Amino acid sequence: MAASSSFLSTASLSNPKSTISFASSVSPAPIPSLRRVVFCSPFSHRRVMTVRSKIREIFMPALSSTMTEGKIVSWIKTEGEKLAKGESVVVVESDKADMDVETFYDGYLAAIVVGEGETAPVGAAIGLLAETEAEIEEAKNKAASKPSSSAVVPSPPPATSSPAPAAAASDGPRKTVATPHAKKLAKQHKVDIGSVAGTGPFGRITASDVEAAAGIAPTVTPPPPPPSPAAAPAPTAKATTTSSPPLLPDASIVPFTAMQSAVSKNMIESLSVPTFRVGYPVNTDALDALYEKVKPKGVTMTALLAKAAGMALAQHPVVNASCKDGKSFSYNSNINVAVAVAINGGLITPVLQDADKLDLYLLSEKWKELVGKAKSKQLQPHEYNSGTFTLSNLGMFGVDRFDAILPPGQGAIMAVGASKPTVVADKDGFFSVKNKMLVNVTADHRIVYGADLAAFLQTFAKIVENPDSLTL
């Protein structure tokens, strides 16, 4: 994984387009130019040293550090097409965005191993690249012999249900008879079809038998419970086997998209971190006044709050740190404030890098750009996974306070509510009405202690209540 992410960082920073070059499983030829030379030289025999096996695997790139599998959106090139180095070959959907993947090598796309709409784990071969046309055939054979996943998103069959399993199961299958769909699912989920118990007519193995063996909940109305879901081999145990309550009659099941799966995974991971919460009421009269002044210049409340948080973090570095291995503080040199944005079908956190250093107007511009990219699913990995602190605002809905869940890899997340006119009493017993915003920070107690967090919040409140410093 480390190797591919290094490709990732160099490629994305140097490449102006949103493309990634995939790495090949074969080490690059030592002196590629030698192969182009035509003269017969005494050194020609040395060419044998250059890589002989000219069939390279194209594998699923890791488009983010959290990506474990990707879905092929579409193949830009088809089997047999010539590829030039740097050309986009396939579009892959990661948990965050759709990326064009380029080829590192010239050659021919000999075989497509994982087709459109199919998913493959990061690092798995998704296609084969042959250097010359002659090798396309060889590559195809190689592809055919690979245990490739040939099934696509299973579409639910119509109302006709399979007949009752009957006593066929007791008959004991003399040879494995499996339906076409069952075979495809078995390949996709890497289930050994021979070990699945068949409950279909005449003892045949049906799609639902394979799904049960793989531990996946079926995508349609639940089938009659299989007699013995035993014999499920180890690799399929990744799916959860907790029994879920039966579905209500009108329930519809919609599988997670890649982004939703990623959010779910992150949330579950966060359960292993010990967190605590501290709340603080912040007086926003001054901030609101400033906002009115700078709004015409394109500054948003998000930018104001992010800058305020950034400046406060500069004075309290431990809140900007994280605990990556459970036994050390990992202080970050930059203050990158990620802001949670709800987009259609999901949630993403574009990052405002160096929020403390950039001025307010620049920050706002950057923010607008990031939101645009987020909405069209074109965020680059470094634009969403480089956050050191997160800001989440639900004030626009009228929410007064809420608790955010700490994203993995960060030390703290700030949840901001709406700024509401509130009656306050001073020590002399006089009432006045002031705008109050309730801020609630969730932090990782392995590194951030109560006093640290409270002090941070005090600083934050001071900055917000004297906001002239924000415009510096």
Partner 1 sequence: MQSAFSLSFSQSSLTLPNRPLCSPNAAPRNLRFCGLRREAFGFSPPKQLNSCRFQVKNRRIESFDYDLVIIGAGVGGHGAALHAVEKGLKTAIIEGDVVGGTCVNRGCVPSKALLAVSGRMRELQNEHHMKSFGLQVSAAGYDRQGVADHASNLATKIRNNLTNSMKALGVDILTGFGSVLGPQKVKYGKDNVITAKDIIIATGSVPFVPKGIEVDGKTVITSDHALKLESVPDWIAIVGSGYIGLEFSDVYTALGSEVTFIEALDQLMPGFDPEISKLAQRVLINPRKIDYHTGVFASKITPAKDGRPVMIELIDAKTKEHKDTLEVDAALIATGRAPFTNGLGLENINVATQRGFIPVDERMRVIDGNGKLVPNLYCIGDANGKLMLAHAASAQGISVVEQVTGRDHVLNHLSIPAACFTHPEISMVGLTEPQAREKAEKEGFKVSIAKTSFKANTKALAENEGEGLAKMIYRPDNGEILGVHIFGLHAADLIHEASNAIALGTRIQDIKLAVHAHPTLSEVVDELFKAAKVESPASTTPQSVKAAV
- Of the pair 207, 319, the CB lying nearest partner 1 is at 207
Angle formed at CA 399 by CA 395 and CA 400, multiple of 5 degrees: 95
Q: What are phi and psi of 414, to 5 degrees?
A: -105, 125
- Among 50, 68, 162, 257, contact with partner 1 (rule: CB under 8 A): 162
Q: Is residue 445 among the annotated active site residues?
A: yes
Angle between helical axes of 285-294 and 301-315 (0-180°, round to 10):
120
> Under DSSP, is residue 311 helix (H, G, I), strand (E, B) or coil?
helix
Residue 153 as a binder of partner 1 (CB under 8 A): the answer is yes
- Among 47, 77, 146, 181, contact with partner 1 (rule: CB under 8 A): 181
Cα–Cα nearest to 411, from 236, 223, 275, 303: 275
Cα–Cα nearest to 387, from 324, 321, 445, 450: 321
Residue 457 contacts residue 438 (beta carbons within 8 Å): no
Query: What is the CB-side half-sphere exposure of residue 404 using CA atoms within 13 A?
Result: 28
Cα dihedral sign, 290-291-297-303: positive
- Among 61, 200, 387, 417, contact with partner 1 (rule: CB under 8 A): 200
Burial class (CB in 10 A: 0-12, 13-18, 19+), 120: buried
Which positions from 205 through 264 interact with partner 1, judged by CB under 8 A? Answer: 207
Residue 179 as a binder of partner 1 (CB under 8 A): the answer is yes
Which positions from 102 through 131 interact with partner 1, judged by CB under 8 A? Answer: 115, 117
Residue 272 as a binder of partner 1 (CB under 8 A): the answer is no
- Of the pair 14, 160, the CB lying nearest partner 1 is at 160
Catalytic residue (one of 181, 316, 382, 445): 445
Angle between helical axes of 301-315 and 360-375 (0-180°, round to 10):
120
- Of the pair 79, 106, the CB lying nearest partner 1 is at 79
- Of the pair 79, 465, the CB lying nearest partner 1 is at 79
Q: Which stretch binds partner 1 (CB under 8 A): 1-9, 14-22, 201-209, 314-322?
A: 201-209
Residue 145 as a binder of partner 1 (CB under 8 A): the answer is no
Residue 71 contacts residue 119 (beta carbons within 8 Å): yes
Residue 146 as a binder of partner 1 (CB under 8 A): the answer is no
Q: Which stretch binds partner 1 (CB under 8 A): 36-44, 157-165, 284-292, 405-413?
A: 157-165
* Smallest distance, partner 1 to C-beta of residue 177, A: 5
Residue 168 contacts residue 153 (beta carbons within 8 Å): no
- Of the pair 142, 184, the CB lying nearest partner 1 is at 184
Which positions from 292 through 331 interact with partner 1, judged by CB under 8 A? Answer: none
- Among 40, 159, 230, 251, contact with partner 1 (rule: CB under 8 A): 159
- Of the pair 117, 233, the CB lying nearest partner 1 is at 117
Residue 221, both tokens: 């109305």
Q: How far is CA 358 from CA 151, 245, 306, 308, 337, in A?
A: 49, 51, 11, 11, 12
How many residues in the shown chain lie near partner 1 by CB under 8 A? 26
The C-alpha atoms of residue 104 and residue 82 are separated, in whole angstroms, by 13
* Smallest distance, partner 1 to C-beta of residue 229, A: 22
Angle formed at CA 146 by CA 11 and CA 122, multiple of 5 degrees: 30
* Smallest distance, partner 1 to C-beta of residue 403, A: 33
Residue 167 as a binder of partner 1 (CB under 8 A): the answer is no
- Of the pair 86, 115, the CB lying nearest partner 1 is at 115
Element (H, E) at 438: strand 431-444
Residue 424 contacts residue 433 (beta carbons within 8 Å): yes
Residue 202 as a binder of partner 1 (CB under 8 A): the answer is yes
Active site residues: 445
Query: Residues interacting with partner 1, by CB under 8 A?
Result: 79, 115, 117, 150, 152-153, 155-160, 162-163, 175, 177, 179-181, 183-184, 200-202, 204, 207
